[in-house]
Amino acid sequence: GDAPLTYQWRAGAVGGGVYTNLVDAGNVSGSTTTNLVITNVVPANDLDYVVVVSNAAGAVTSSVVTLTVQPDPVIVTQPVSLTLYEHQTAQFSVSTLGVLPQSYQWQAGATGSGTYTNLSNGGKISGATTTKLTIADIGLENAGDYVFTVTNAGVGVVSTVATLTVLATNPPENITMSVQQAQNMDWNNGPDWSDGLAVLVSSGFKPGSTYEILAGARLRTPTNTLGGTFPGNQITVDGSGVFVNNNDTTIGEIRLKHASVYFKKLIMNGGQIDQGDNSVGIIAGEMDILANTPLYVDNAAGQDRQIQIDAWLTGSGNIEWRQYSAAFTANLNITGTSNTFSGQWHVFQGALLGSGTNSLGTNDITVDASGALETSYNVNNTSGSLVLNG
């Protein structure tokens, strides 16, 4: 049209058909030019826009254009700092919300530096461009700060900093426990194994070590661990094989207080196991019965309790099953289907449950008047006998 021309950008709710004049302020500039600029758009800028061009002859309004503002992505779950030992695996994970597609990038830097470089997959590192970063076989060089960035439509949001602290491991050794844990540790031993025997022996992490609980000593499993895996290669529990209500000089004991404990190799050489929590105590891994082994639930507090052995059960020693109070349920549940255990069973009180096919082996089973035997499979045992006392 004929000069001079004037321009006025206007905006209004999407689809509303009603507009108001824009002015240069905040993130808006060029409101009276041919080029309207809105920087750092936010959802409030999600509007319909028109420009009105005027001269002496009149005014004309452009067609409507709509600005759709995609919200920034949101990191819902932030990464958590970790303290691990050398050769363990570190995993940082996050969860995000927002418009797709999104891209992800993990970065790392020296602790407290505030400077980060992109990580890439390869070697020990995987998941560098996903929501879960994994660093296998960590070393001291992997210690530092880690951050995560999520991006969509060119907008990036950075997580809080998660710090990886890497502790040096100690060489494997043979560790012996010869005394009971202190009374204040017996039922409140804390959230982890330390080196498996708490502070009574040493505080370092010694993967590959062998442990022995001598007659009269007691080890209580930790509570509230994310994974109840015993850190050593092997642990042996010694004793006379004669059941006692509380530890004395004749028998070593493990007290279960964690819901599920994994032993790479648990050797019962005359010691006993006591379920001391008001729940099911699960033993996984491998369990070798070399001598008479009392298994016991201390349900004096008036609670139903159970020991469940998911571990591969082997050896030729005998297993006793006992409970403190007959007024409450006390089950010993054997679930393994590949057990090679060839010893005898004696159910003094409570119930022995064979819930895995052939889980109870092929030897004698003796059930006293206060005991019970239940199996979920047909027992076809031609080499052993079932003795019912009462």
**What confidence score (pLDDT) does residue 195 get?**
47
Do 358 and 219 belong to one domain? yes
Distances (CA, A) of 65 to 5, 17, 37, 50: 21, 12, 14, 7
Closest to 300 (Cα-Cα) out of 273, 278, 267, 268: 278
Do 155 and 234 belong to one domain? no
| 1 lies in some domain | no
Do 241 and 132 belong to one domain? no
Do 252 and 343 belong to one domain? yes
Do 236 and 118 belong to one domain? no
Element housing 185 (H / E): helix 183-186
**If 0-12 CB within 10 Å is exposed, 13-18 middle and 19+ buried, where does residue 355 land?**
middle
Q: CB–CB of 235/262 below 8 Å?
A: no
Query: Domain ends where: 38, 67, 96?
Result: 67
**What confidence score (pLDDT) does residue 225 get?**
52
| 155 lies in some domain | yes
**Spatial distance between the Cα atoms of 140 and 125, rounded to a whole number of angstroms:** 15
Domain count, the chain: 3
**Spatial distance between the Cα atoms of 177 and 157, rounded to a whole number of angstroms:** 51
| 321 lies in some domain | yes
Helix (H, G, I), strand (E, B) or coil at 196: coil
Do 194 and 315 belong to one domain? yes
**Per residue in 304-332, pLDDT tens?**
889 999 999 999 999 999 988 777 889 99
**What confidence score (pLDDT) does residue 239 get?**
93
pLDDT band at 255 (very low <50, low <70, confident <90, very high): confident
Residue 185 scores a pLDDT above 60: no
Q: CB–CB of 177/214 below 8 Å?
A: yes
Mean pLDDT (the chain) is 87
Do 315 and 383 belong to one domain? yes
**What confidence score (pLDDT) does residue 186 get?**
44
**Spatial distance between the Cα atoms of 145 and 152, rounded to a whole number of angstroms:** 24
Angle ∠(29,34,37) on CA atoms, nearest 5? 30
| 131 lies in some domain | yes
Do 181 and 159 belong to one domain? no
pLDDT band at 59 (very low <50, low <70, confident <90, very high): very high
- Domain span at residue 351 reads 174-388
Distances (CA, A) of 161 to 94, 98, 133, 146: 12, 21, 14, 6
Do 162 and 180 belong to one domain? no
| 241 lies in some domain | yes
pLDDT band at 256 (very low <50, low <70, confident <90, very high): confident
Do 192 and 261 belong to one domain? yes
DSSP letter string over 204-254?
Answer: S--TT-EEEE-TT-EEE--SS-SSEE-SSSEEEEEB-S---SS--TTB-EE
**What confidence score (pLDDT) does residue 198 get?**
44
**Spatial distance between the Cα atoms of 78 and 101, rounded to a whole number of angstroms:** 20
Do 97 and 44 belong to one domain? no
Element housing 263 (H / E): strand 260-269
Query: Domain ends where: 167, 188, 221?
Result: 167
Range of weakest confidence among 36-45, 203-212, 334-343, 347-356: 203-212
| 325 lies in some domain | yes
**Per residue in 157-171, pLDDT tens?**
999 999 999 988 777
Distances (CA, A) of 6 to 33, 49, 166, 221, 242: 8, 17, 67, 81, 103
Q: What share of the chain is helix, strand, coil (3-state, %, to 5)?
A: 5, 45, 50
Query: Domain ends where: 148, 167, 186?
Result: 167
pTM above 0.85, yes or no: no
| 118 lies in some domain | yes
Closest to 323 (Cα-Cα) out of 388, 283, 277, 274: 274
**Spatial distance between the Cα atoms of 23 and 5, rounded to a whole number of angstroms:** 18
| 12 lies in some domain | yes
CATH classification of the domain holding 82: 2.60.40.10
Residue 202 scores a pLDDT above 60: no
Do 335 and 243 belong to one domain? yes
